[in-house]
Structure formats: C-alpha cells, structure tokens
A and B are shown apart, each in its own frame.
Chain A
Amino acid sequence: MLKKIAQIIFFIIIVSLAALAQFSFISALPSFWRYLNLPLILIIFFLFFSGERAAFGAALIAGFWLDILFFNFFGLRIITLLVTAWLAQCLFLTWLTNRSLYSFLILILAATLVYNFLTAFGLFLTAPDGTCFFLIKESFWRGLVYQGAWSALAALLAFNLVSVLTRRFRPVFLEKGPGL
C-alpha cells in the first residue's frame, strides 16, 4: 500500500515537473528547441509502456498545471491532452497490434498532429486573433513539423532506452523465437 502511494506521488511529481519545465524552461529556449512538447511525449510514453490509466492521469495532471499557468481559457489543455490521449489509445488498440518501435513512432506522431490541431482549433474558437484560419498559417505548420521531429526523436530515444533497460521490447526488428 505504502509502495503504491509512493509510486503515485512520484508519478505526480514527474508529470508536474514536465509541465512546469514546458511552461518556464522550454519556452525560454532558442526557436527550434522550444517546440519540444515534454508533457505530450510523456503521456504517449505512459500510454505505450504503462497503460491507459497512467496516460490519462498524466494528461489530467499536466493539463491542469498548464491551464493554471497559461492565460488561455481554463480547460484548453485538460481537454486537448485528454482527447489526444483517448484518440492515441483508440489508434493503439485498433490499428497498432504490437509494441514495436514503428508503432511507437506512429503513435507519437499521430498524437502530435492531433494535439496541435486541437490546441490551434481551441484557440481559434476561444481567442480569435482576427487573422486567417490557423490551417493556412505558416507558423502552425512550422510548429507541427518541428514538434513532429522532436516527438520522433524522443520516441527513438525512449524506445531504445526502455528496450536496453528492460529487454521487453526489440528496438527495431522482431526476432524469431526458438519454436519458429
């Protein structure tokens, strides 16, 4: 029981630190680096390696922190992160049948696409800037490409790291088992 509580506290601290780092540290970095989306990467990481409960929990905690700290309407990040986690879970269960690097890459890239689209759409609805629709804005697509690159990089690193540490996953190719 005590171990379980300690795990939950550790989980909350890790997700909170990721959200805080996103808010203050990453936002101050030079242009390309500031597109790293640490909470989103963490959520997909949890979804892939730990299951939906950790992923939805991380989405809720990170979304809550970001909604408190930023000045957009409260709920934007909670909603977008939860919906992203849910769509990623649907994709994971329906289309991606194994836990390979390719699955992880597709999952994280799809989540990045969904998250960016939902956030931009949420901002477009709640705080219209009087300019053009976000889909025809260069900044939206640039942000998406940069975030996609970061997500792919993070997926490669995370998957290889986990496969080295646990030997549960094969980094690239599935190997033949002894009976095959």
Chain B
Amino acid sequence: MIKDKKNKRLLIWAVVGGLLIFLHILGALRPLEDSLSALISPLAARWQVRGLNSALPGGEEENIDDLRGRINELNKELAVQLVAESRYREIEEENQKLKNLLNFLDGQDYRTIGAALIAREEAAKGGYDLIIDRGAADGLRTGLGVINEEGIIIGLVKEVKKNTAEICLITTPDCRLAATIQNEDRTQGIADGDLGLTVKMEYIPQTEKINLGDIVISSGLGGDIPRGLVIGRVAQIRSESNDVWQEATIEPLVNFNDLTVVAVVIP
C-alpha cells in the first residue's frame, strides 16, 4: 500500500517533468521561457562580472597582481597597435588592388551589437563556450563573428535563442573561420581552435613563407565574418621538409578569462 502510494507520487513527478519537455517541444512554453530568460539576463550579467572579479585562489590573478596588471595593460596597448597596423595594411592593399569592388567591406563598414556575458559553459572538446544576453530578437544568427572591445575576433555565434546566444571561442575545436596570414604570400586557410588554448591553421603549402609573429586576420571568405578582423599572431610553425603541408599555431591576442562585454559583428 505504502509502496503503491510512493510509486504514484513518483509517477506524478515524472509526468510533470515529461509534460514540461513535451510542451517545450510543441513550443507552448516559448513565451514563458523567453520572458524568464530576458528577465534574469541583467542579474546574470552582474553575477558573471562578480564571479570573474572574485578574489578566489586558482584564478589567473593569483599572485603578483601589479605585474600582471601591467602586462595586461601592455598587451592591450600592443593589441590596439596591431589592430591599427593590420587595418592600415588592409586599407593600403585594398586601395591598390580592390578599389573597384564596390561591395568590399573595409573592416569598418559593419554594424556591431554590444552584448554582456551572462554565463560560461564547458565545451565538450576543451575550453568553454560563452552565453551572451543578445539573441535572435536582436538580429543575431548562427555564424556571425564576435569581437572584443579592441576589435579582435574572439569567437563565432554557435546557436541562438530569442534573447540569448551561445558563442564558441576561436580556441575551441571545430570553431572554424576563414583566415589570412599577413605575410608576403597572403596565405589563406581555415583557422580552427586547438584544445581550447590556441588556434591552428593546417594544410598550408610548403611553398608559402610564414614568419613567426605574422598577424592572422579573417579573410572574409565564405561566411558572415568581414575581412580584416584580427585573430592572433603566428607563434609556432610546424614544417617538415618531406611534408606537403605545414601548420601554424596562432596565439590569440585576447585573455578570454577577462571578457565581460563583447560585440557581435553584423555584416
């Protein structure tokens, strides 16, 4: 008798859970879900910043804070310089070679939508994905590029809901975008995340000359990402004389742990 009562209660909970999932599949819960996620986004954004600024051990700011602060400042300055330099080089090249192409985007002809980070989620293949407080209602769609405040590309929109979107970082495996190395050959390829730490560019012909420190930018080919957004710089080149291809490891210029505000690029 008691067991029957317990089983009945258990069944009720299972039915309620199943009903919620069923109603979600039908779309009947969408207004509720959208309004709840819109409602909590401001609070979530504030908590995300608090979490990032927490002085708990284990973070990157564990010791020698002043020194790290200075390094961050210098890195930011350097990143700004690199962005400016790469933009200049891109504009110069455009003036020389592509000035007749009316539809060409020069890296500034795009609209951006500012967004706050509201959560991070561990990605299955390493690293983590970000969740931002903008979604389909703001014009976001899958495949758009996401930049930080210095204009450096940090990732791509992976999935959108009405009021939120999930971003894969460029260091996450399978987060791919068309890229160009700013070397003499203007080497083109696909930049793909590597272990959640760096970005790699594979299948580069041995005939192309790549140098350490070369800046890598988005090529603007085949997608929604405009040309000229800085991805990082070449930190390592793997090239064997008997191989057909060489591979470059690209070091991102962004500290992904510091991100709190980003912008989605709408071409």
Query: Does B222 count as interface, using CB distance less than 8 angstroms?
Result: no
Instruction: List B34-83 residues whose CB lies under 8 Å from chain A.
Output: 36-37, 40, 43-45, 47-52, 54, 56-60
Interface membership of B159, Cβ < 8 A:
yes
Q: Interface stretch among B10-18, B206-214, B228-236?
A: B10-18
Within the complex, the shortest CB–CB distance from B116 to chain A, in Å, comes to: 10
The residues of A that contact B126 with a CB separation of less than 8 Å are 139
Task: Determine how close the nearest CB of chain B comes to the CB of A149; give it in whole angstroms.
Answer: 13
The answer to whether A69 touches B56 (Cβ under 8 A) is: no
Contact (Cβ within 8 A) B17 A79: yes
Q: Which of A9-56 contact B (CB under 8 A)?
A: 20-21, 23-34, 52-53, 56
> Main SS of the interface on chain A?
helix
Q: Which of A28, A53, A130 contacts B52 (CB 8 A)?
A: A28
**Given A20-B47, A28-B52, A123-B124, A68 and B17 touching (CB < 8 A)?**
no
With an 8 Å Cβ cutoff, the count of chain B residues facing the other chain is: 47
Nearest A residue (CB) for B158? A71
Residue of A30, A34, A52, A59 with highest tally of chain B CB at under 10 A: A30
Q: How far is the CB of B8 from chain A (nearest CB, A)?
A: 12
Residues of A within 8 A of B122 (CB): 139, 143
User: Which residues in window 78-112 of A have CB below 8 A to B?
Assistant: 78-79, 82, 86
**CB neighbours of A26 from chain B (8 A):** 51
Specify which chain A residues have a CB less than 8 angstroms from the CB of B215 in the assembled complex.
Answer: none
Tell me which of B10, B37, B49 has the highest count of chain A C-beta atoms within 10 A of its own C-beta: B10
Q: Is B118 interfacial (CB-CB < 8 Å)?
A: yes
Q: Is B125 close to A, CB under 8 A? A: yes
Establish whether residues A56 and B13, one from each chain, have CB atoms under 8 Å apart when the complex forms: yes
Query: Is A74 located at the chain interface by the 8 A CB criterion?
Result: yes
Contact between A82 and B121, CB atoms less than 8 A apart: no
> Which chain B residue shows the least CB distance to A71?
B166
B24→A29 contact, CB < 8 A: no
- Residues on A with C-beta less than 8 A from B244 are none
| Total A-B contacts with CB atoms under 8 angstroms apart | 113
CB <8 Å contact, B119 and A23: yes
Does chain A have a CB within 8 A of B21?
yes
Query: Are B121's CB and A27's CB within 8 A?
Result: yes
Q: How far is the CB of A84 from the nearest CB of chain B, in Å?
A: 12
B101: chain A residues within 8 A (beta carbon): none
Enumerate chain B residues within 8 angstroms of A74, measured Cβ to Cβ. Answer: 21, 24-25
Q: Do B131 and A29 have beta carbons less than 8 Å apart? A: no
Contact assessment for B17 and A78 in the assembled complex, using a CB-CB cutoff below 8 Å:
yes
A129 an interface residue at 8 Å Cβ cutoff?
yes
Say whether B17 contacts A29, CB under 8 Å: no
Please determine whether A25 and B125 come into contact, CB atoms closer than 8 angstroms: no
Contact A29 B54 (CB under 8 A): yes
Give CA–CA (A132, B44) in the complex, Å. 33
Shortest CB distance A159–B (Å): 24
Check if A161 is an interface residue, CB within 8 A of chain B. no
Question: In B198-256, which residues have CB < 8 Å from any A CB?
Answer: none
Q: 1/0 per position for B114-139, CB-CB distance to A under 8 A?
A: 00011111101110010100000000
- Measured between C-beta atoms, what is the minimum distance from B119 to chain A in Å? 5
Across the interface, name the chain A residue whose C-beta is closest to B59.
A30
A166 proximal to B (CB < 8 A): no
Complex CA–CA separation, A139 to B6 (angstroms): 37
Offer 28 A-B interface pairs, CB within 8 angstroms, sorted by A: A20-B44, A21-B47, A24-B45, A24-B51, A24-B119, A25-B47, A28-B51, A29-B51, A29-B54, A30-B57, A33-B56, A56-B10, A60-B17, A68-B37, A69-B131, A69-B164, A71-B161, A74-B21, A75-B17, A78-B21, A79-B21, A82-B13, A86-B13, A130-B125, A130-B174, A131-B125, A139-B126, A143-B122
16 new A-B contacts, CB < 8 A, other than A24-B119, A33-B54, A79-B17, are: A24-B118, A25-B48, A28-B47, A29-B54, A29-B56, A30-B58, A33-B56, A34-B120, A56-B10, A69-B37, A69-B119, A69-B131, A71-B161, A71-B166, A75-B20, A79-B21
